[in-house]
A and B are shown apart, each in its own frame.
Chain A
Amino acid sequence: MTVKGKYLRIALGIVVIGALIIVPMNFNRYGLYILSQWAVMTIAAMGLNLTLGYAGQVSLAQGAFVGIGAYAAAIMTTQGMPLIAALSVAVVLCFAIGWILGYPALRVQHHYLAFVTLAFSTLAFLVFRNEDWLTKGIYGISNIPRPNVMGFATNRPLPFYYFCLGSLGIVSLAMWWLIRSPWGRAFIALRENPVRALSLGIDTRRYTLMAFAIGSALGGVAGTLYAPLTQYIDPVPFNLSLSLDLLMMVIVGGSGFFFGPFLGAMIAVLLPEWLRFTQGYYLMLYAVAVMLLLIYSPTGILGILDRYLAARRTKAASALRAVTKSKLETAS
């Protein structure tokens, strides 16, 4: 059953990836913009999923890290520097700030941590808005160029979408590696039972800070893609509500599940488009849908699936146990 399941999953993966490459080829400019946005938000949400879903630390600052990345990209590339340089700066900066912001997590309860990160998020917004010399304040930065990737210009929507998709692919692979590595196991251990984790030699402080720092750095990566996507940024998109949106993406998709952010970002970015016919009501419907979902399944959409699969597994396992037990009894 497991071998068959594995092939089925690989086949499904290939179909989805193929669809993501082929289907958008005849999309219009706006459709490609929305899909690119999905890819960018998925990267940011994956970072938060690492911090929140795997390591169990609440952060309300992921939007601020996207902002830091976006401003790094906007400022540097409009000065003629390559996007890869901006990416390095954003990653290093966000990693360092995330590391520092993780320190309160070592001292205080989780809800306090939520407020520290919330305060940081608002402070970052104030800096974006007020430091005119660096960020051009409320006027924003326009004419942000799109990069050349290995000689290919990504000015047009389709190549830029592929650039975002490719970046998402690379980040996903790195994340997959991280989650399966001993680090991923340590993250889960410190979420589930920090005392036991300590007694097994797991340096919970270092892993907590790492989860914060890596998650924040991924926010920065998403930001460096966001700036060339919109080609114009001002402080408004990076206020607290982006952090809250990202948090909802992670929770709605299913926090602690690898594919949770993909699903959550899809719902947050695409659902408003599908609900466009409802005109101004779509955000209201989205909010109500989120509340209903959380009441039904606090572990998100993938939580529902997981419970269903777990129930099937338990059935199979107890059947197996019954068999072994009867064997033992007949043997003795």
Chain B
Amino acid sequence: MSAVLEVSDIKKSFGGIKAVDGVSFDVQEGEILGLIGPNGCGKSTLFNCILGQLMPTDGEVKVDGKVVTGLRPSELNRLGVSRTFQLLQVFPKLSVRENLILAGQEHQGNMMSRLLGPSDAGLTATADQMIGFFKLDHLATEAAGGLSYGQQKLLDAAMAFMGGPRLVLLDEPAGGVNLTMLGDLKERLTAINREKRATFVVIEHNMEFVMSLCTRVMVMAEGKLLAMGTPAEVRANPAVIEAYLGH
């Protein structure tokens, strides 16, 4: 196994506030790593630093051994790192299929072929496969804005996989999703992890979801790494219990 993502000593401060204060970790190929911690512990800031949305004050990010710190999100995405956002970010006026094609089109060909080539960038089949995989079949031509919240959340996740990513960072995929849908989502994510050998990092507040989905869990508190281990180890860690229940 080799490390897909290596994060070393990331620091990010806003004014005088250290949001992320020297976090290092590796993610191995095929792994599903959970990232948990109380609100305001710096999880989302860390995500944004890894993904090029924010420029870290200090530290280094490597993907497949290549330094990617400071790359723009679009460049990083084309290197095989994709993400979902905490809030829904589908394109409501485009159909489900169009949303998926959009999510994959920049990974096909070049600017010229995207202008002169076919309108779907040759992705209709891939998109429909993804639609089938996430069980959205009957909705392919519906405008994404007309879907239920849970369905949009599935679409949002599906979009992250259209480019055939090496690494996917999911920011609260379960947020606001009802119980039935939640089971669906977990099952789909596990399946895609196994079938496509995609590596995940998942931020989530829903403990049960994290503990049952992830192979390894890391806990952050006040900008620092507090604990790292299997779900069972983390659950038993006194420092984690302190961080969650102590305050």
Contact, chains A and B (beta carbon distance below 8 A): yes
Residues of A within 8 A of B (CB): 178, 180-183, 185-186, 188-189, 192-193, 195-204, 206, 313-314, 317, 320-321, 324
Q: Are A204 and B74 closer than 8 Å at their CB atoms?
A: yes
Q: Are B121 and A199 closer than 8 Å at their CB atoms?
A: no
Determine the distance from Cα of A204 to Cα of B75 in the docked complex, in whole angstroms. Answer: 11
What chain B residues lie within 8 Å of A204 (beta carbons)?
A: 74
Known: A186-B106, A204-B74. 18 other contacts (CB 8 A): A182-B101, A182-B105, A182-B119, A182-B121, A185-B101, A192-B91, A195-B85, A196-B85, A199-B53, A199-B89, A200-B77, A200-B102, A200-B103, A200-B159, A201-B74, A201-B163, A202-B102, A203-B106
Q: Are B77 and A199 closer than 8 Å at their CB atoms?
A: yes
What chain A residues lie within 8 Å of B119 (beta carbons)?
A: 180-182
Q: Are A203 and B94 closer than 8 Å at their CB atoms?
A: no
Q: Are A206 and B101 closer than 8 Å at their CB atoms?
A: no
Closest to B111 in A: A206
Chain A: minimal CB distance from B179 (Å): 15
Q: Are A188 and B163 closer than 8 Å at their CB atoms?
A: no
What chain A residues lie within 8 Å of B91 (beta carbons)?
A: 188-189, 192-193, 196
- Per-residue A-contact encoding for B103-136, CB less than 8 Å = 1, 0 else: 1011110010011110101000000000000000
The residue from A186, A192, A201, A314 contacting B78, defined by CB atoms under 8 A apart: A201
> Does B82 make an interface contact (CB < 8 A)?
yes
Q: Are B115 and A199 closer than 8 Å at their CB atoms?
A: no
Q: Are B114 and A201 closer than 8 Å at their CB atoms?
A: no
- Secondary structure of the A side of the interface? helix
What chain A residues lie within 8 Å of B77 (beta carbons)?
A: 198-201
Closest to A324 in B: B138
Interface residues on B, range: 35 or more
Closest to B52 in A: A198
Closest to A210 in B: B111
> Does B150 make an interface contact (CB < 8 A)?
no
> Does B73 make an interface contact (CB < 8 A)?
yes
User: Which of A182, A203, A206, A321 has the largest count of B CB atoms less than 10 A from its CB?
Assistant: A182
Q: Are B105 and A186 closer than 8 Å at their CB atoms?
A: yes
What chain B residues lie within 8 Å of A201 (beta carbons)?
A: 74, 77-78, 82, 106-107, 163
> Does B4 make an interface contact (CB < 8 A)?
no
Determine the distance from Cα of A203 to Cα of B108 in the docked complex, in whole angstroms. Answer: 13
Q: Are A203 and B74 closer than 8 Å at their CB atoms?
A: yes
Q: Are B138 and A186 closer than 8 Å at their CB atoms?
A: no
What chain A residues lie within 8 Å of B94 (beta carbons)?
A: 185, 188
The residue from A180, A202, A320, A324 contacting B106, defined by CB atoms under 8 A apart: A202
What chain B residues lie within 8 Å of A186 (beta carbons)?
A: 102, 105-106, 114
Chain A: minimal CB distance from B125 (Å): 16
Q: Are B102 and A199 closer than 8 Å at their CB atoms?
A: no
Determine the distance from Cα of A151 to Cα of B84 in the docked complex, in whole angstroms. Answer: 58
Q: Are B102 and A181 closer than 8 Å at their CB atoms?
A: no
Q: Are B73 and A181 closer than 8 Å at their CB atoms?
A: no
User: Which of A180, A181, A200 has the largest count of B CB atoms less than 10 A from its CB?
Assistant: A200
> Does B98 make an interface contact (CB < 8 A)?
yes
> Does B146 make an interface contact (CB < 8 A)?
yes
